[in-house]
Chains A and B, each alone.
Chain A
Amino acid sequence: MLRAAIATSPDGADDERSLIALAAIGDRAASRALYDKHAARVHRLAYRVCGDPDLAEDLTQEVFVKVFRSLGQFRGESAFSTWVHRIAVTVSLNAMRKVKRLREREADLDEAHQHEFEPDAIDPDLRARLAAAIEALPDSVRIALVMHAIEGYTHAEIGQALGIAEGTSKAKVFDARARLRKALGDFQEEQ
């Protein structure tokens, strides 16, 4: 009955609320529908944060295991996507701490060189410098920058995901940009 209502509801938000209600009582199809809707974006964010395809898959898995295990506690006070991304950020940051403790990661400079040279494109060396500079940012600053400048999250979304005020998110991105300008300031570009 509920599933039929979901299928015919014209309102997307209502659809999602119904899916959440079904998933909370263990309905696999509803859970899969929620997963299909949000997994790609969670995976993108996880990959941007960790830069490792296997780890990004593991993180995406961990995020959704947590989501479905704690779905009964989701009260709908924030958007479901916000709640999912809050978990994604926490899981990703925690994982990166572990990874950093296990091995001193090399900045993934090679990746910046994988993109073929295109006329009028950014100098590959500058891309490499940018990647290294982003990597060197403190975690909370880096994730705010990646979410805002690269993944296009709003400051309100970042604030909710990181548990900070919207203004603090803006300040962190401002701080990140200042550090990047400083780190890239001496780069001599070919004219």
Chain B
Amino acid sequence: MDDKRLDEILSDAVRTYRSPPDAPLDAIWSRVEAEAFEVQPAKRAPGWRVFAGAIAATLLFGVLIGRATAGHDVASPLAATVSRTPARLASNSTGDAYQQQTQEFLGRTAVLLAALPSNGRPGTNDEKLTQQARQLLGTTRLLLDSPVGHEQRMRDLLEDLELVLAQVARLQPQRPGEALTLINEALEERDVVPRIRSAVADLSIGDH
């Protein structure tokens, strides 16, 4: 199928693909009004943050142990590891190197998420956080294009992390409020932190 034919089909889809019905906008407004303008109770800090902190600490501990026992290759960045250890990759499987890097990436991401300010106020390390988020975003995209990204569950997690990290990377240190609210909600609603924990557990099983 060529581009021209696809354009024709997509033009048709404007009219036929999930063509939206008339929205009952007045009825929706009544519900918005009832919910948006009621007095809001004070919000508690999200429960996942404590959870994320614990996971981050555990992962950091694991990574430190791993570094102490496995030598320097473990700590090198993804691209460097893949290019610098051909002998190891030849004897092991390429997948092991990617898995190791994925595990470390997930640990660093969990640490970053745990460090996000919860109250929407500027924190002292916000600039550092956005910088780290940009680095992790790059790694996410590398992993998405690597064999790790071929596994659907991991791909879903990486795509969620790509969106969250992109939002963190775009945080304005002086005014993080609204963006942080959205990030925190996204983390909670998509169960990102429990999914990181589960992915790390799966990768650990794969190690043995």
Q: Which A103-136 residues sit within 8 Å CB-CB of chain B?
A: 108, 111-112, 115, 121-122, 126-127, 130-131, 134
Nearest A residue to B167, CB-CB:
A163
Q: Which B19-59 residues sit within 8 Å CB-CB of chain A?
A: 20-21, 23-25, 27-29, 31-33, 35-37, 40
When chains A and B are docked, how far (Å) is the Cα of A90 from the Cα of B182?
A: 8
Q: Are B16 and A64 in contact (CB under 8 A)?
A: no
Which size bracket describes the interface of B in this complex? Answer: 35 or more
Q: Are A127 and B36 in contact (CB under 8 A)?
A: no
B151 adjacent to chain A (CB < 8 Å): no
List of B residues within 8 angstroms of A184 by Cβ: 1, 6, 9
* B contact patch SS: helix
When chains A and B are docked, how far (Å) is the Cα of A90 from the Cα of B186?
A: 7
Q: A28-B37, A138-B155, A181-B1 are in contact. Are A130 and B17 (CB under 8 A)?
A: yes
- Stretch in B86-94, B105-113, B158-166, B200-208 with 4+ CB within 8 Å of A: B158-166
Q: Which A17-50 residues sit within 8 Å CB-CB of chain B?
A: 26, 28, 31-32, 35-36, 39-40, 43-44, 47-48
Q: Are B190 and A94 in contact (CB under 8 A)?
A: yes
B175 adjacent to chain A (CB < 8 Å): yes
Q: Are B166 and A164 in contact (CB under 8 A)?
A: yes
Interchain Cβ contacts within 8 Å, total number: 143
B177 adjacent to chain A (CB < 8 Å): yes
A180 adjacent to chain B (CB < 8 Å): yes
Q: Are A127 and B13 in contact (CB under 8 A)?
A: yes
Q: Are B29 and A32 in contact (CB under 8 A)?
A: yes
When chains A and B are docked, how far (Å) is the Cα of A86 from the Cα of B15?
A: 24
Q: Give A contacts to B, CB under 8 Å.
A: 26, 28, 31-32, 35-36, 39-40, 43-44, 47-48, 51, 53, 56-57, 60-61, 64-65, 67-70, 73-75, 77, 86-87, 90, 93-94, 97-98, 108, 111-112, 115, 121-122, 126-127, 130-131, 134, 138-140, 149-150, 152, 162-164, 177, 180-181, 184-185, 187
Q: Give B contacts to A, CB under 8 Å.
A: 1-3, 6, 8-10, 12-18, 20-21, 23-25, 27-29, 31-33, 35-37, 40, 120, 155-156, 159-160, 162-163, 166-167, 169-170, 172, 175, 177-178, 181-182, 185-186, 189-190
14 more CB-based (< 8 A) A-B contacts, given A73-B120, A97-B160: A35-B32, A43-B25, A43-B28, A48-B17, A64-B36, A73-B175, A94-B185, A122-B16, A126-B9, A162-B166, A164-B166, A177-B6, A181-B2, A181-B6
Q: Which are the 8 A-B pairs with shortest beta-carbon distances?
A: A73-B178, A68-B36, A47-B20, A43-B23, A163-B166, A94-B189, A122-B12, A73-B177
